Each structure stands twice: as C-alpha cells, then as structure tokens.
Amino acid sequence: MMAILPGATIGILGGGQLGRMLALAAAPLGYRVHVFAPEGEAVASEVAAAETRAGYSDEAALARFAADCDVITYEFENVPSATVAFLEALKPVRPGHAALDVAQDRLSEKQFVEALGGRTAPYRTVETLAELEAGLAELGAPAILKTRRFGYDGKGQARIGSTAEAAEAFASVGGKGLILEGFVRFDAEFSILVARCPRGREVHYPACLNVHEDGILSRTTIPAEGIDPGHLDAATALVVRIADALDYVGVLACEFFATENGPVFNEMAPRVHNSGHWTIEGAETSQFEQHVRAICGLPLGPVGLTAPLVEMRNLLGDSSAEWGRILADPTAHLHLYGKRDAVPGRKMGHVTRLLPQP
Ligand code: AMP
C-alpha cells in the first residue's frame, strides 16, 4: 500500500469530540480534515478544513465527500455499515466495514471473540419476554439486558435484580433484538488499546484501569495497578488477535472485566476511545496521532508513559464549569469539547493529570 502523505485529506465520519481530537492531531502532521456529520452540533467541524452536513444515507453527499478525501475513517461506531461499504468503493476506509459489522452487534462481537479464544460474560439472545424469563432462569439474577445494536455509555441497558423485574426491563430497553448477559463479578475494569498498520505492525498502550459510574466512564488511570500482569498480557494478546483477524487498520479499543480467573471481554470499539484520552499528554504518541499514522500508512509512534502515574477524568454535564479550578492545578491538562448544552451525563470535556507517584 502507498502511504497517504502529509498534505492529503482525511475524511472523518462523525462530528463529535473524538473527531475533533483526531482533527487536532492530524493538523501538526500536515493533513487536512473533512468532517461528514448529520445535522446538529458537530464540534469536530469547528477544527476541520471542510465539513459536509448530510445524512449517512445521502449517497450524492457521500460521493462528493469521498471525492475530496484521500482516506476516510470514522469516530462513531454506529455509522451504518452500508455507508462505509458505499464509501469503500470510492476511497480507502480504515478501519473498514468488517470491524463495524462485528462491533455493531453484541452477539456477533461475542461470537467473534469466543472463536478467537476470548472469554465473555455468559449470554442468551432475547426476542420475547418468555425468552428473557428462560434466560434469567439459566443465567441467574442479577443479569443485564442490553440492546444488541446501537447501545453506548450504558444506554439501551437494564439491570435485572430478580425475575419479578423482567417485564419492566424488557419494556424499558425496547423489547427485541436483545441480549441478556450474566452479571460478571469483576474486581476492576480495564481497556486495551492497540494500533495496527496496513501491513500488520502493531503497538499497544499500557492497560488502562477504568471506573464507570452509571455505565459512563468516569476515571482512567495508568498503570493499571492491582490487576494481575499475566491477565493484562492475555487480554492484550487477545486484542492483537482480534485486530489481525479483522485485518484492522487504526486504533482498536477493547474493554474487559478483571476477575480472579482472568480477563472477561466486554466490548470493542473500532475507533479511538474515551479510555485513551490520557495518551494526549500521558503517552509519547497520542491515540489520535497514532490513528492518523496508522490509517495513512505512516510508521507508528512510541507508546511509553510520560509520567509515573497518569489520570484522566471525564467532565460530565456541568462539571465542566470547574475549568477555572482545573487550570489552577499545575499537574492538570484541560480539554473542553466546545459543546453548548451541559446536559447531565453528557461528555463535555476531560482533564488529564500527570502525577509523580504510581
Ligand atoms: P457496556 O455498555 O456494555 O460497556 O456497559 C457499561 C458498564 O456496565 C460496564 O462498563 C460495566 O461497568 C457494566 N456492565 C456491563 N455489562 C456487565 C456485565 N455483564 N456484568 C457486570 N457489569 C456489567
């Protein structure tokens, strides 16, 4: 494959903060960025050279967008697979639609990972209330009912404490195309981020220890203290196998539960990931620059830590109003995404601290 050289245009499907930080990382490498996003707030467009506002099924707009781009990526895994397939006929799309197809459906994702030797939570597919009740009888309560498609940040999920809650949970998540997961009694949660080049070379970041609140990432720390290093190595080896099996190009993030019996795979994101935001200041090469390097066929950068301890906290809702206090802290690096409405739970920014002690 010929490298896509600085000066070329990178197209990004999706206009959120991940696209914004990708565009900010592409600029120092000399790339132009063109953002394709549906109507509505698109904070990535504010830092891009060009934008297209159209729906993901608008083929005329997609064709014009592709004509302006040398390579296309996505910052949002719910882009329709058909959109990516349409664009792939016109320009390289990295990662391609294979990764999206697997990651967009929690069932195919689990089956794919199991076939590669990974462990997942026990699960049953659910289309009817009777199937949910049967699944609960087999897996036991508590359990988590999730939509197979289009869930994110804990949305499209219901925790079921006992069989008596089944009907309400079934109604609350939409009542079909569901998966019931047995509750994993984990000691901690962590993620592994791997970057892979078109010719297959990979690098991986140190494992990220993640704390979620209400299903949303709250805090990430590196190094992932307290998790068996052998379990982290096993999870990393699995993510590399996943990337190889998909012939993946770009940054791939996988989330795991740490248990005493080893890592349990939770889900993958075929894109840069919230648990990798710390890499902007905390790693020698950020996940965003690494993704740009990978999709353009440039050499990947080093992934070492720049401080003994790195901590990232998400700024959700009106907690972003704390920016004055954060700026007064010399260890802190503030990122605000430029979103207008600080709705509770909305990711408005993040803060990364580089600290002297692990
Ligand atoms: P997800 O959207 O699948 O990543 O779920 C969001 C969060 O809910 C996870 O990070 C966990 O904290 C929790 N969670 C999801 N699935 C399970 C499970 N099967 N067992 C225990 N906790 C879970």
Strand, helix or coil at 234? Answer: helix
Q: For ligand 1, is residue 77 a contact (CB within 6 Å)?
A: no
Question: Which tokens sit at 296?
Answer: 């353009």
What class has domain 9-93? alpha beta
Residue with tokens 């190889």: 244
Query: Confidence band (pLDDT; 50, 70, 90) for 153?
Result: low
When pLDDT is averaged across residues 328-337 and rounded to a whole number, the result is: 96
Query: Confidence band (pLDDT; 50, 70, 90) for 358?
Result: low
Q: For ligand 1, is residue 122 a contact (CB within 6 Å)?
A: no
Burial class of residue 286 (count of CB atoms within 10 Å of its CB; 0-12, 13-18, 19+): buried
Question: Which tokens sit at 312?
Answer: 């990232």
Run of H or E residues at 73? strand 71-74
pLDDT exceeds 90 at position 154:
no
When pLDDT is averaged across residues 106-132 and rounded to a whole number, the result is: 97
pLDDT exceeds 80 at position 1:
no
Structural domain spans, the chain: 9-93, 122-182, 188-355
Q: Is the pTM of this model over 0.75?
A: yes
Q: In a mutational test of the pocket of ligand 1, which residue from 144, 148, 152, 180 has the highest number of ligand atoms less than 8 Å from its CB?
A: 144
Bridge-partner residues for 350, per DSSP? 314, 335
Question: Which tokens sit at 15?
Answer: 């206009």
Architecture of domain 188-355: 2-Layer Sandwich (3.30)
Architecture of domain 122-182: 2-Layer Sandwich (3.30)
> What's the helix, strand, coil split of the chain in %, to 5?
30, 30, 40
Q: Which atom of ligand 1 is nearest to the CA of 185?
A: 21
Between vectors from CA 347 to CA 343 and to CA 351, what angle results, nearest 5°? 130
